[in-house]
Amino acid sequence: MEKQILTSEDISKVVDGFAPIDWVQLKLIANMPLENRLIPNLNAQEFAMAALRGTFRNKFPELSISEINMKVLGYLTPLRMEVK
């Protein structure tokens, strides 16, 4: 797939779909300690992985929990290793 150059009109269409910036929320988050900023992101990641794990458990009921976890990691890991 070739890269496509976006015109300013294309960029405007994309940006118009974004919600407006909540500057108060952004300032509050910026002033929080790093560990407090990370917790919501880790919770979101944990939720997404649990949902994916549940989906795989329904789709592949014959697999063990360890095999399901490996499928989740494989799905979420963009790096594909060559098998020899």
The per-residue pLDDT for range 1-58, each reduced to its tens digit, is: 678 888 888 888 888 878 888 999 889 988 999 888 888 889 999 999 999 999 999 9
Q: What is the structure's pLDDT at 72?
A: 92
Residue 55 lies in a domain: yes
Residue 67 lies in a domain: yes
Please report whether residue 21 resides in a domain: no
Distance CA 65, CA 71 (A): 10
Q: Does a structural domain hold residue 5?
A: no
Asked whether the whole model's pTM tops 0.75, one would answer: no
**Residue 24 confidence (pLDDT):** 94
Residue 16 lies in a domain: no
User: What stretches of 6-84 show up as alpha helix (H) in DSSP?
Assistant: 8-16, 23-30, 34-59, 65-76
Name the token pair of 22. 């909540």
> Is the residue at 42 inside a domain?
yes
Q: Residue 58: inside a domain, yes or no?
A: yes
pLDDT at 35: 85
Range of the domain at 47: 33-79
Total domains in the chain come to: 1
Distance separating alpha carbons of residues 10 and 24, to the nearest angstrom? 29
